Structure 1
Amino acid sequence: MTSHLTLDDLTNWFAEGNKPRDQWHIGTEHEKIGFCMDTLRPIPYEGERSIQSLLTLLADKDWQPVEESGKIIALKKGMASITLEPGGQLELSGAPLETIHQTCEETTSYHRILKTITDELRIGFLAMGFQPKWQRSDIPLMPKARYNIMRNYMPQVGSGGLDMMMRTATVQANLDYGSEADMAQKMRIALCLQPLVTSLYAASPFENGKPSGFLSRRGACWLDTDTKRTGIPACAFENDFGFAAYTEWALDAPMYFVIRDHIYIDCAGASFRDFMDGKLEQLPGEFPGIEDWELHISTLFPDVRLKQYMEMRGADAGPWPWICSLSALWKGLLYDEQAQQKAWEMIADWSHAEVVQLREEVPKSALATPFRKTTVLQLCKQMLQISRSGLERIDASNSAGENETIFLKPLESAVASGQTQAEFWLKLYNGAWNKNIDRVFFEAMHI
C-alpha cells in the first residue's frame, strides 16, 4: 500500500520546481504527421515500412528503445525522448538546454538522422498542425494502452478529443520558474498570450482534403476537448493564484488511469480526491503515491500546463525554422526581467472572459481577429518587440556572434506580411495547386 498524501504534498510537488535564474533552461517539443511517400496514407505501426521500423532504425543511432507489451513505443537518449502520439505522430521531446542555439543544434541533428531513415523507408513528415486529407478512420492505432483508455473516454466529454489525439501536431516550449510568485505571473502572461501564439503559428487550414474554414484546425479541436482538463483555468486570473490554486484545479479534473505493475488501469472519469481518501473504485482501500499525482498532472491539457516547469501549448506544428522560434519567443518574453514586466503590463487588465473569447475566435481568423480596439496582428507585433528586446538583453551569442533574436525572423516576417502559413497554403490550394490537396504533402514536407 502506498503512503498517504496530503494536499500540502501535492502543492509542494510543484514548489520543488522552483529554480534560481542561473539554472533556468528551456526545452522544445515538436510533433510531426507521417505519411507514405507513394500513397500519402498514414504510416502503419507494423510492417516493412512502418513506425516500428522507423523506431528500430532510430534505436540503431544510439537511442535506447522503450517497449510496452513487447512492442517498441518510444526511445530515450539522456534527457531527450522520441515518443508516439495516438495517431502515429512522432514527437521529439528535447533536453532542457541553456540557449536556443543549442535547441537549434539539437533539432538539426535530429532531422538529419531522421532524414536518412525516412529516405530509406520512403516516408515523409508534414510540417502542419492537422492531418490535411485523411479521416480518423484512415489512421492506424498505436499500441499504447493509455491511448485505448483515452480514445474510449474522449467522446463522452467533447466532440474534438479524438481529432486532437489522432490528427493534430504541435510545437511546444517548456520553461522554468523561480518561485511561486514568478510562476503565477508567468502563467497569467502565458495564458493571455497563448491565443496570439495560436494565431501567429496557424498552419492547419485543411481537413478531409479541402479547406476546413479554420486557419488553425488544430486550435479548433481544443475548443471542445474535455473542458474540465483543457483551456484557460480561471483560477490563474485570481490575485492569490499559486501552487495551491492550481492543485485544486487539477484535483477537479477527472482521472484517466493509474499504473500498477506496468499495467494501465482504466479509471476514466474517476476523482483523484476519492483516490486520496482511499475510495477509488478500481483500487479500493489503496491510496495514491506522488508518482500517481505526477501521472495525473501529465493527463491535463490546459493551454499552459504546470508541472515542475511550465509548458507553452498554443502553437501548430510548422516549417522547420518555426520550431526554434517558439522557444526563442517565450524565452525573450519570460526569461528577462524587463521583458516579463513589459509583457505583464501588456495583459494585466485582460479578463478571463476576454481571453476565453479570444481563444475561441482565433482558430478561424488568426491575425485578423479583433480584440478591444486593435487586432491580434498588432498585438503580435507588440509581443515580438518585447521578446526581441528581452533576447537582446540576455545576449546569448553563437560562434558567429549572433544572439538569439535570429530565431525570431520567421515570426517577424509573418507579422510584416500579415499572413499566416495557413493563408499561404490556402492561396496555393486555390491557385497553383488547382485545389489538389495532395500537393500539400510535398510543399509542407518537414524534412
Structure 2
Amino acid sequence: MSELHAIEEAAAHVSGICFKTGPPERVGVELEWTVHHAASPGAPLTIDDLRDALGPYAPETLGNPDPVPLPGGGAVTVEPGGQVELSSAPARDLESLYQQVSAGRALIDERLARAGLVLGGNGLDPHRPPRRLVHTPRYGAMQRLFDRRGEHGRIMMCSTAGLQVCLDAGRPEELARRWAAVHEFGPPLLAAFATSRFRAGRDTGWASGRMGAWLNMEPGLTRPVPVTRKPAETWAQYVLAAPLLCLRSDDGDWDAPPDLTFAGWIRSGLPRPPTLDDLDYHLGALFPPVRPRGYLEVRYLDAQPGDEWIAPAAVLTALLDDAVIDEARDLAAPARDRWVEAAREGLACPAIGTAATGLLDLACRNLDRTGLPAHLRDRVADIAGRRLAAHSERETHA
C-alpha cells in the first residue's frame, strides 16, 4: 500500500480524482429519512426493527453480508441514528432518476409498512432526541470527536435527514463556473426547501435546524469550501487542512489524535505514515455543503416529504443549464455566502427571500431544459410555488 510522505503528492492525488470533467449528462440523488413507528412516532426504534423490516435490502452495517440492490440499481444504507438512506444509481436524465427512485422508495415503504414503520418527511426528527443505534468504530470515533464541541454533532449523526443531489462537474472550461454556481445557489435553495424547524417536540429557532447542527459541529469538517477559479487546488488545500475524523486501526479504537490534520499526519508520520487509502477514506469523512467526488455532491438541502425531492433536484438542474446559469448567479448574488442567515432565518431574511424567489421563478420558466415530461414539470412548479406562497402567508400574518 503506497505511503504518503509529501504534501505535494497528496494534493496531486486529491486534485486528480475529485473533479472528473466532461459533458454534464448524469444525475443522481441520495435521500435520507428518519424512521418511525406508525402508531407512535416518538417511540424508540431498534436495529432489529430496521433489520427485520428491510430484510434482504438491509446493509452490511446491520449484519447483512450480501445486500440486494434496489430496483434500478440503487442501494439502502442506514445512518447512525437509524435513518434510512436510498442512494440512487446515476441516471441519464431526471425522468429516469424519478422513475428509479420512486420504485426504490415504494419498495422501502412497503417493507417498512409490514413492520408498522413509516418514513419521516422532515430534515430533523421532530419527535425523538438523538440516540445512536449503529455502533461501528467509525461512528464511535465520530461521536467522541463531535461531543467535545457540544450536542450538534450527535444531533447531526442521529437526528438529521438530508437530500443530496449529485451532478456532473461539466467540461473543463465550465468547471469553475458550475462549482461557483452550486455554492451561490446554496443559501437561497437551502432556505426555500427547509423542512427542519422542529426537533424532539421543540422549535429549534432555525428554519433549517438540520443545517444549524451541521454549521455548529466541527468547522474544519463542515465549513463551505472557498470558491476560487481553481476548484481542484482549493479543494486539495481544504482536504489537507481538515482534521482527521478518525484513524483506522485493527484494535477497534479509531479515535484520532486531537486536532491532527491530514497534512500534519503526513509531516509527522505518526502514529504511522498515512497511505493513499487513508487519504481516500479521509475524503469521505468531510462534509462541506458541496463536496466534489468526481461529480458535484450538493449536500445543503433538507429531506423533502414524499416525492418532493424532485423539485430541488429539477431546480438545480435547470439553473445549471448553460443558457440560464449566468442569470441565475446574478439573482443569487445578494445571498452569497449567507449560510447562517439562510439556515436560521430562511426566506424571512430579505436578501435570501428575494434571491430564492428569483431563482425558483427562473428555474420554473426553464424546466423544459431538464427533460422532465409535462406532468413532472407541473409537479415541480406546484411545489416551488407552494414553498414561496407559504412564506408569503407567514409574512402577511406576522
In the superposition, the TM-score normalised over structure 1's length comes to 0.79
> Aligned AA for 1:279?
G
* Contact 2:123–2:302 (8 Å) recurs in 1: yes
Aligned equivalent of 1:391? 367
Q: Does the alignment pair 1:127 with 2:121?
A: yes
1:337 corresponds in structure 2 to 322
Q: How does 1:107-256 map to 2 (within 5 A)?
A: 107-136=101-130, 139-157=131-149, 159-233=151-225, 235-236=226-227, 238=228, 240-256=229-245
1:288 is aligned to 275
Decide whether the 8 Å contact of 1:45 with 1:52 is kept in 2.
yes
Task: Name the structure 2 match of 1:20.
Answer: 23
CA distance in structure 2 between the aligned counterparts of 1:28 and 1:254, rounded to whole angstroms = 27
- Residue identity matched to 2:329: W
C-alpha spacing 1:326/1:72, structure 2 compared with 1 (3 Å): farther
**Does structure 1 residue 407 correspond to structure 2 residue 392?**
no
Name the counterpart of 1:434.
none
The alignment yields a C-alpha RMSD, in angstroms, of 2.9
Tell me the CA shift for residue 90 of structure 1: 0.3
Measure how far apart 1:391 and its partner are: 3.0
CA distance in 2, matches of 1:408, 1:73: 40
- Which of residues 365, 379, 389 is equivalent to 2:345? 365
Output the CA distance in 2 between the equivalents of 1:397 and 1:195.
25
1:205/1:72 Cα in 2 relative to 1: closer, same or farther (>3 Å)? farther
What is the letter of the counterpart of residue 414 of structure 1?
R
**Matching residue of 1:42:** 44
Name the % identity.
Answer: 21
What is the SS of the residue equivalent to 2:32? strand
Q: Structure 1 residues 156, 210: closer, same or farther in 2, change over 3 A?
A: closer
Please say if residues 325 and 411 of structure 1, whose CA atoms lie closer than 8 Å, have aligned partners that are also in contact: yes
Q: How many residues align?
A: 389
> 1:338 aligns to what SS in structure 2?
coil
Contact kept, 8 Å, 1:214 with 1:220, in 2: the verdict is: yes
Change (3 A) 1:122 1:256: same
The offset of 1:230, in angstroms, is 1.2
1:315 positional shift:
1.6
1:80 to 74, 88, 93: 74
For residue 382 of structure 1, the aligned residue among 347, 352, 358 is 358
C-alpha spacing 1:140/1:66, structure 2 compared with 1 (3 Å) = closer
Q: Which residue identity lines up with residue 388 of structure 1 in the other structure?
A: C
Tell me if 1:91 matches 2:93: no
Q: Is this contact kept in 2: 1:103–1:324, CA < 8 A?
A: no
Task: Tell me the CA shift for residue 378 of structure 1.
Answer: 2.5
Q: Cα deviation per residue 1:79-137 (whole Å; 9 max; x = unaligned)?
A: 5221111110000011111222122212221222122212210111210111112222x
What SS class does the counterpart of residue 224 from structure 1 fall into?
helix
Give the AA of the match of 1:359: W
Do the aligned residues in 1 keep the contact of 2:109 with 2:119 (CA within 8 Å)? no
Question: Which residue identity does 2:342 align to in structure 1?
Answer: V
Secondary structure of 2:170's counterpart equals: coil
Q: Can you give the 5+ residue segments of structure 2 that lack an aligned partner in the other structure?
A: none
Q: Gaps (5+ residues) in structure 1? A: 428-447
Residue 321 of structure 1: which of 303, 307, 313 is its match? 307
Residue aligning to 1:432: none
Identify the residue that residue 95 of structure 2 maps to in structure 1: 101
Shift of the alpha carbon at 1:406?
A: 4.2
- State the match for 1:267 in structure 2: 256
- Give the Cα–Cα distance (whole angstroms) in 2 for the partners of residues 76 and 305 of structure 1: 25
Residue identity matched to 1:27: G
8 Å contact 1:19–1:177 — kept in the other structure? yes
Residues 403 and 34 from structure 1, CA distance in 2 versus in 1: closer, same or farther, beyond 3 angstroms? Answer: closer
**What is the letter of the counterpart of residue 60 of structure 2?**
E
Amino acid paired to 1:11: S
1:270/1:280 contact within 8 Å kept: no
1:346 to 325, 331, 334: 331
Equivalent residues of 2:208, 2:302 under 8 A apart:
yes
Q: Which amino acid aligns with 2:219?
A: T
Query: Taking structure 1 as reference, are residues 190 and 321 closer, same or farther at Cα in structure 2, changes over 3 Å only?
Result: same
User: Aligned match of 2:266 in 273, 276, 295?
Assistant: 276
Q: Deviations over 1:322-361 (max 9, x none)?
A: 2111211111111x1011122233345x5xxx644x3212
SS at match of 2:291: strand
Aligned counterparts of 1:73 and 1:188: Cα–Cα separation in 2: 40
Change in Cα spacing, 1:276 to 1:210, as seen in structure 2 (3 Å) is closer
Residues 54 and 111 in structure 2, CA contact (< 8 A), matched pair in contact too = no
